Amino acid sequence: MTTAANSAPVSGAGTVARRARKTKSPSALSWRDRAEITALSAPAVILFITFVILPVIMAAYYGFFKWKGFGVPTNFVGFDNYRTILTDPEFHNVLRHNAVVVLGSLALQGPFALGLALLLNQKMRGQSLIRVLIFIPYVISEVIAGTAWGLILQTDGAVNGLLRKLGLGALANDWISNPKTALTILLFILTWKYAGFAVIIFLAGMQGIPEELTEAAKVDGASYWQIQRKITIPLLGPTMRMWGFLSVIGSLQLFDLVYIIWGQYISSTAGTSTMATYMVVNGRMSGNYGYGNAVAVVLFLISLVIALTYQRFVLRRDTEGALTGSSR
């Protein structure tokens, strides 16, 4: 196979497409090859098309109907659903919340995780235990995390209890149902939950940086900070940009945690509603399936545009051989 051409970092649909086209021209396939190809790929391809691609296409189709979810959709309304979405002030709020989550996640989790990864990037006893412990919030399910935080942050919960114990009772707040603080609380919980993931990815990336580089710098008299600033962090660029991509996509599609913690308040007044919770609340839960599907399409298109833009402008240099060139 064309290993050399194909061993650049894989980074998603667009770049893969570009690279994949370079793969070598097909040689003649025997009937036996064809049979094997079909047999080996059929289960995955059939499942994937039926349960991933088809539903997305169906969402695009249903989005043109005012439809309650029973029988064949008949009430075609064209782009009416989309007009309603784009002019709904609540949807504008939702967009703002998602934007805050995207930027806030990058700004909080990134530096925190980078600092921690730099600290732990050394041969030291107990590293593996520390790694496991840091990763625990990420492994706990959203439902458990949400239930726990809901109990901790409620009016008579542990946080307020602790504040009163410390004589800071004046700071006690109705953390979750106060829309003024809700979004900040959400960002805090997201950082708690997902920073460990960034740490693990960054550590894995750092372990891929050749030791000779840092050794050579040390020999030349570089200080610890110089090494981090001039070698580790720049060489971690591709990993960080990749993490940023995952973080942005995840932030745009945020549903579970918000739905679990703010479920009973979810509305424009909660201050944390996201595109995905808006979709579920105004679609399925209101029995308006057509509308929900139109929201899903909008969410998909927004994610797609942002992802493609990110790949075009941020990830491009990684796929042009920067990583393969520098880290080999």
Partner 1 sequence: MTAAVTSLKPLAPAESAAGGKPRRRRAAKPKPEWASPAVYLVAALVIAGLLAPVAYVILGGFRNNSQITADPAGLPDPWVVDNYRVVLTSSGFWQQVGNSTIAAACGTIGTVTFGLMVSFVIARYPFKGGSMLYMLFAAGLMFPMTVAITPLYILIKNLGLMNSLAGIIIPGIAFALPQTVIILVPFLRAIPKELEEAASLDGCGRMGFFWRVVVPLSVPGVVTTGILTFVGSWNSYMLPLFILTDHSKYTLPLGVQAFASEHSVNTAQVLAFTSLSMIPALVVFSLFERRIVGGLTGAVKG
Minimum Å distance from CB 266 to partner 1?
14
Q: Please tell me whether residue 48 binds partner 1 under the rule CB under 8 A.
A: yes
Judged by CB under 8 A, the stretch of 93-101, 114-122, 211-219, 225-233 that binds partner 1 is: 114-122
Judged by CB under 8 A, the stretch of 88-96, 177-185, 225-233, 243-251 that binds partner 1 is: 243-251
Binding partner 1 by CB under 8 A: which of 123, 167, 211, 225?
A: 123
Dist. CA 243–CA 197, nearest whole Å: 9
Q: Please tell me whether residue 26 binds partner 1 under the rule CB under 8 A.
A: yes
b/e sequence 188-209, b meaning 16+ C-beta within 10 Å: bbbbebbbbbbbbbbbebbeeb
Residue with tokens 């703010």: 262
Beta-bridged to residue 65, according to DSSP, are 76
Q: Please tell me whether residue 108 binds partner 1 under the rule CB under 8 A.
A: no
Binding partner 1 by CB under 8 A: which of 31, 72, 220, 328?
A: 328
Dist. CA 275–CA 298, nearest whole Å: 9
| Interface size with partner 1, residues (CB under 8 A) | 125
Q: Please tell me whether residue 160 binds partner 1 under the rule CB under 8 A.
A: yes
Residue numbers 219-238 binding partner 1 by CB under 8 A: 238
Q: Is 144 helix (H, G, I), strand (E, B) or coil?
A: helix
> What are the C-alpha distances in Å from 183 to residues 9, 100, 104, 245, 319?
35, 8, 10, 22, 35
Q: Please tell me whether residue 240 binds partner 1 under the rule CB under 8 A.
A: no
Q: Please tell me whether residue 212 binds partner 1 under the rule CB under 8 A.
A: no
Binding partner 1 by CB under 8 A: which of 194, 270, 282, 310?
A: 194
Dist. CA 103–CA 101, nearest whole Å: 6
Q: Is 63 helix (H, G, I), strand (E, B) or coil?
A: coil
In terms of CB distance, is 149 or 271 closer to partner 1? 149
Dist. CA 294–CA 279, nearest whole Å: 9
Q: Please tell me whether residue 173 binds partner 1 under the rule CB under 8 A.
A: no
CA-based angle 52:105:279, to the nearest 5?
40
Q: Please tell me whether residue 98 binds partner 1 under the rule CB under 8 A.
A: no
Binding partner 1 by CB under 8 A: which of 24, 167, 219, 220?
A: 24
Minimum Å distance from CB 37 to partner 1?
5
